[in-house]
Structure 1
Amino acid sequence: MDGAGNMRGVYKGMQALILKEAPKAIYIWCHAHRLNLVVAHVCGCKIEMKKAMGILDELYNFMNGVRRQGVFVKYQMRKSKKSLKRIKNTTRNWSSSYKSVEIFLDVYEHILASLVELKDSNDPSTSSIADGLLSRIKDENFILSLFILKEILKCTHEACIEMQAVGNDLALVTKLIQHTKNKLQKLKANGDSLFLKLHSLSNSFLKKNNVITDLYNMKSIFKLDQTEFNNYVEQKKNKYRTEIFFPVLNAIINHLNDRFNYDCLNFLSQISIFTPAGIMDNEKIEGWQISEICNTYQLDVQNIVDEYNDFRSLYLESQSIIFCEDLLKVKKNDAVYIDESIANDQITKENINSEIMTKIKKWIKFSFILPYRLLNQLNSYSNLNLLYKYLLTLPKTSCSAERAMSKVKINKTRMRNKISDPFLENLLLISSEIDVFEKFTIDDIITQFALTSIRLSKLLIK
């Protein structure tokens, strides 16, 4: 569930109502929502970042008109056409900030050309807004802010995409968050060199697009010699580094630690003991280490401790031969993260399948599935087997539930406003589980339909 008060309220929230009916249920705040709250925070923690995201949103609204969009598309004719992305002020639109920044930088030259043409429009409003946007997107601080945001949000983007996959469980999500924290800490450790690199990239980007910024106009306006001008540029760069870059980097790290502080969440820290990494790291466990999770599911602590300690040595010997080939299948609607190094014209079905396969192997490696597969082949660990069943059913995000609600909007259109509940349920089931539905042939469907009555069977089955 999400973190709204009406959902996580202890007394009258949704979790309180569910716990009355199912005492073993556990409230888990959707990890994708929490990660997106971190992204929203970093995009608004400094005025330069707010201005950058505001300009992108304003540009999207301006270019959304049919005629203006036509001008924009015209300048992309020789390359793959991309649409600008809206920055959504909500925790339900995953990765909209990162995608908006990435696409803007990819089509920057076409946006410049479009705004130059629209600036000469006969419509006063269009001409005025285009001229204002043109001057703002040429600002060196704006471009530098986008390069910084792209570099930082790239660390969270992969985790955000993988969290939306159907097969992941809580163990892998915890690993993804820790991996994201490590990447951000690495950026901070190399902060000075990273800033110089991004500053150089933004300057090269502006030169490549023949943009002369106001900074270089000041040299002639104030009649500065080269030494004075270089000192001014260096002071401005250092001010941006100390007042914008490092505070933004610290903000996302601190906010990520606040949102995903597993040391303070005893239950989640106890779950990590049962992951493959936890089994390999812990020699033996004691009752106090897993008391809360056992009490939650009404399991005997000592039985779990004895079975776990005995099972651990068996798992270490057998982990390399546990059968999991049936899990290595690529589904059509699996979420996938495509690495930026792959050019758009090189993104093929083979590349996508390879990325999905890598994601599935990562899930198998870090999730509860390997220990559970081994337990299913044994008969002497009934309590531990039951606990792993509970752990595998714990949801990590509410993405699947929200996708189901999106399917309702797609299927229940204005022309279908009077369909019956069973028919609507069937439509939702087909659209949600399209990979399963595609396994059926037309002949299978006709045969199943014919078996519903004797008359139909005589007509349809030969």
Structure 2
Amino acid sequence: MEITNLLCKALQQQSQDIVNAMHLVSTTKSLLQKLREDGWEPIFESVTSFCTSNAIDIPDLNSQYIRGWCKPRHKNDDTSMTMEHYFKYDIFTAAIDFQLQELNARFCDKTVELLMLSSTLSPKEAFKSFKVDDICKLVEKYYPKDFTDQEKIHLRIQLQHYELDVLKHFDFQEISTLCELCWVLSSSGKSTIYHLVDRVIRLVLTLSISTATTERAFSAMKLVKTRLHNKMEDDFLTDTMAVYIEKDIAKTFTTEEIMEEFYQIKNRRRT
């Protein structure tokens, strides 16, 4: 918890510094791995000292670990496990491995690269991180179907003009987020001139929403498509999940409003 605390605080900030947050992900992984390899002895000495000072019994680590009422899952399970082996590998190492797996799943190399490249669009600190090559790489690698080959060529040219125009324009000096950048581009009319750059910004803005929606969909599927509902059609499953995921919005609808909507779509008999 000491190691991951700094990363958790950085990710919980409303205005996140993506570059530094991704650096914290890397350092957190390294520190957890170091703790896994060399941290058992220091933490065991700390726990022993705490138990001694508070008159807490310390188990004999060389004694056999007894599973209690839990039976081994397989006949070949080793029943001669020592207490030290149990505490060191089944608890200490297993807990660290779980943390590392969670970080690797949520911040794999592709995710980190995507976030790092996306951060080059940020207007924070007068577009300090802006890089034409990185933005072109972002489009080429992660949004290849959203731009034609001709548009990718024009994008680089637009970015070169954008760098000399927008980055030094007075109206853009005080903004710090992509949302503000998108709004100012639109209100100033520059979103029409730099329409390809504007498209990239809007794609990046929808990234977090798309990821969150996907995660919520998978979580909802386990609750909606149960053993008793395993034969529902795809369309019905999609509609049911949409209602479940957006249940806060669905609660605002009344039965009369739904009936009226269907009635206006097609002639139906009201019951």
TM-score by length of 1: 0.35
2:6 corresponds to 1:152: no
1:294: how far off? Answer: 5.8
Distance 1:317 1:454, change over 3 A: same
Percent of pairs with identical residues? 19
2:220 alignment counterpart = 407
Distance 1:448 1:300, change over 3 A: closer
Q: Does 1:379 align with 2:189?
A: yes
The one-letter code matched in structure 1 to 2:245 is: S
Find the aligned partners of 2:256 and 2:109 in 1 and give their Cα distance. Answer: 50
Cα deviations across residues 75-114 of structure 1 (Å, max 9, x unaligned)? xxxxxxxxxxxxxxxxxxxxxxxxxxxxxxxxxxxxxxxx
State the alpha-carbon separation in 2 of the partners of residues 378 and 414 from structure 1.
55
Secondary structure at the counterpart of residue 119 of structure 2: helix
Unaligned runs of 5+ in 1: 1-149, 189-194, 216-239, 320-364
Cα offset, 1:431, TM superposition: 0.9
The secondary structure found in structure 2 opposite 1:429 is helix
SS of 2:269's equivalent in the other structure is helix
The CA deviation at 1:300 is 3.0
Task: Please give the alpha-carbon distance, in whole angstroms, between the structure 1 residues aligned to 2:256 and 2:20.
Answer: 45
Q: Is the 8 A contact 1:294 1:301 kept in 2?
A: no
Given the alignment, which residue of 118, 143, 166 partners 1:271?
A: 118
Q: Is the 8 A contact 2:224 2:241 kept in 1?
A: yes
Q: Is the 8 A contact 2:7 2:24 kept in 1?
A: no
In the alignment, is the contact (CA less than 8 A) between 2:262 and 2:268 conserved in 1?
no
- Deviation of 1:270 after TM superposition, in Å, equals 4.3
CA distance in structure 2 between the partners assigned to 1:294 and 1:417 by the alignment: 39
State how far apart, in whole Å, the 2-side matches of 1:207 and 1:455 are: 79
- Is residue 7–residue 25 contact of structure 2 (8 Å, CA) maintained in 1? yes
Alignment of 1:317 with 2:131, yes or no, is: no
Counterpart selection for 2:156 from 301, 317, 321 = 301
User: In structure 1, what is the Cα distance between the partners aligned to 2:110 and 2:245?
Assistant: 33
Q: Name the Cα RMSD after superposition.
A: 5.2
Aligned to 1:85: none
293 and 423 in structure 1: CA distance in 2 versus 1, 3 angstrom threshold: closer
In the superposition, relative to structure 1, how do residues 383 and 420 fare at CA in structure 2: closer, same or farther (>3 Å)?
Answer: closer
* C-alpha distance in 1 between matches for 2:54 and 2:263: 66
Alpha-carbon shift at residue 429 of structure 1 (Å): 0.7
Distance in 1 between residues matched to 2:115 and 2:25, nearest whole Å:
18
The whole-number CA distance in structure 2 between the counterparts of 1:261 and 1:418 is: 36
Structure 1 residue aligned with 2:246, among 426, 433, 451? 433
Letter paired with 2:253 = F
Q: CA deviation at 1:430?
A: 0.5
Q: Alpha-carbon deviation of 1:428? A: 0.9
* Alignment map for 1:183-332 (pairs within 5 Å): 199-200=45-46, 203-204=49-50, 208=54, 210-214=56-60, 260=109, 269-277=116-124, 279-281=126-128, 288=133, 290-293=135-138, 297=147, 298=152, 299-313=154-168, 314=170, 316-319=172-175
SS, match of residue 239 in structure 2: helix
What CA deviation, in whole Å up to 9, does each residue of 1:4-63 have, x standing for no partner? xxxxxxxxxxxxxxxxxxxxxxxxxxxxxxxxxxxxxxxxxxxxxxxxxxxxxxxxxxxx
Aligned residue number for residue 369 of structure 1: 179
Aligned residue type for 1:214? D
Residue by residue, what CA displacement relative to the aligned partner does 1:143-173 show, whole Å, maximum 9, x if unpaired?
xxxxxxx4334455667x86xxxx99xx865
Say whether the 8 Å CA contact 1:407–1:431 is kept in structure 2: yes
Decide whether aligned partners of structure 1 residues 209 and 307 sit closer, same or farther in structure 2, where only a CA change above 3 A counts.
farther
Give yes or no for the alignment of 1:388 onto 2:204. Answer: no
Contact 2:121 2:135 in 1 (8 A): no
Q: What amino acid is the match of 2:119?
A: S
One-letter amino acid of the counterpart of residue 118, structure 2: I
Q: TM-score, normalised by structure 2?
A: 0.55
Q: Distance in 1 between matches of 2:259 and 2:108?
A: 52
User: How far apart are residue 206 of structure 1 and its match?
Assistant: 7.1
Show the counterpart of 1:179. Answer: 24
